[in-house]
Amino acid sequence: MNFDLTEEQTMLYKMIREFADQVVAPGAAERDRTKTFPIDVFKQLAEMGIMGLPFPEEFGGAGADTISFAIVTEQLSRACASTGITYSAHISLGGVPIALFGTKEQKEKYLVPICTGESFGAFGLTEPNAGSDAGGTETKAEDKGDHFVINGSKVFITNASFAKHVAITAITGKDNGKKEISAIIVPTDSEGFTIKSDYEKMGLNASNTTELIFENVKVPKENLLGKRGDGFKQFLKTLDGGRIGIAAMAVGIAQAAFDKAINYSKQRKQFGKSLAQFQATQFKLADMAVKIELARNMVYKASWLKDQGRPYSKEASIAKYYASEIAMEVCDEAIQIHGGYGYIKEYEVERYLRDAKLTEIGEGTSEVQKLVIARQILQL
């Protein structure tokens, strides 16, 4: 296996790393404090052609691969995790379902604005009683002949306040006594569609997390995404790609915490020596470096398999599970190395820990990932 990035990937890495350092990182702490969505950052990313990175050029994208998407997500998350998760959800949850299952007309109408940055991508799956368990879906789309009437709600939906449309899952009927779950594209300006964004969160404060409320929302049948009743299969495939995004985000956060720990350990003096000169600190830093490198390699492997058109569900879950676990561990160690200063917001590592916690939850908890991995191994 060749671990070298291609020439295009290397150029992208250098460009996005520089952008993350110079444009994204400087305002990250202030955006976290004020809970300000980084709209100006994304306007610049749109101008750079990054907002539609992995999608076909035919629909305004850049035609890049999944590894490139992982690179961008990691670098943005290293500078500001709120920006990273916004981008990851925009692509992997908002754009991918339309790219995979939409008709040409739907792609022209709904994917193009995502690629150009005119609209953010958002995907409405999670409900109060249903997330990874699609069987708990309660939102209904009643068939009225030439249109659906949607009633229900979704929770913890990323980017919806800045999206012009959201692809959601809803019950469209019964199939042999079981819920028939379909995916439907719903314009956010539809009558009866309310978006609330008043969550008080532990971290990722500059990202947009919303509740969607549908009260007799009328949507034409042409907005059905893919085949009726295939919503369950569609969201499973969507979440596989989403896990790569969350894993890349976790690696980025871990890298940021690691970088801070290295810099602090070189500057901080104890007993006449820098912390970096103590073997105990060196052991901590070595463990952190190993975990980050292994997590990044797993993200790239899952991405590569996806790009080759090969099965990657197990690898995506492994990447997401491991990267999220080590992100928490690395951030915790970074705080320990900083000592009392690690508890102070000015030194930023406490923010990394708060932000990293979401990676253990988003796109399915660690327990969900273990189930996915185990079922793949056991071929259940």
Beta strands in the chain (DSSP E): 123-124, 140-143, 147-158, 165-175, 178-187, 193-196, 209-220, 224-225, 269-270, 273-274
Reduced to 3 states (helix: H, G, I; strand: E, B; else coil), residue 37 is coil
Say what angle helices 81-88 and 66-79 make with each other, to 10 degrees: 150
Specify whether 222 is catalytic. no
Catalytic-role residue among 47, 74, 363, 367: 363
Element (H, E) at 54: none
Distance from C-alpha of 157 to C-alpha of 94, rounded to nearest angstrom:
10
Tally the residues of the chain. 380
- Which residues, including other chains, have CB under 8 Å from residue 102's CB and lie 6 or more apart? 110, 111, 185, 225, 226
Residues paired with 186 in a beta bridge: 166
Reduced to 3 states (helix: H, G, I; strand: E, B; else coil), residue 134 is helix
- What does the DSSP assignment read for 69-91? HHHHHHHHHHH-HHHHHHHHIII
Place of tokens 């009643």: 142
Torsion sign, CA atoms 238, 244, 248, 254? positive
Q: How far is CA 364 from CA 151, 189, 314, in A?
A: 25, 29, 13
Closest CA to 123 of 196, 215, 185, 56: 185
**What would you measure as the largest C-alpha separation in the chain, in angstroms?**
79
- Which residues, including other chains, have CB under 8 Å from residue 159's CB and lie 6 or more apart? 86, 89, 90, 94, 120, 121, 122, 207, 208, 210
Tokens of 371: 């189930």
Which sequence positions are flagged as catalytic? 363
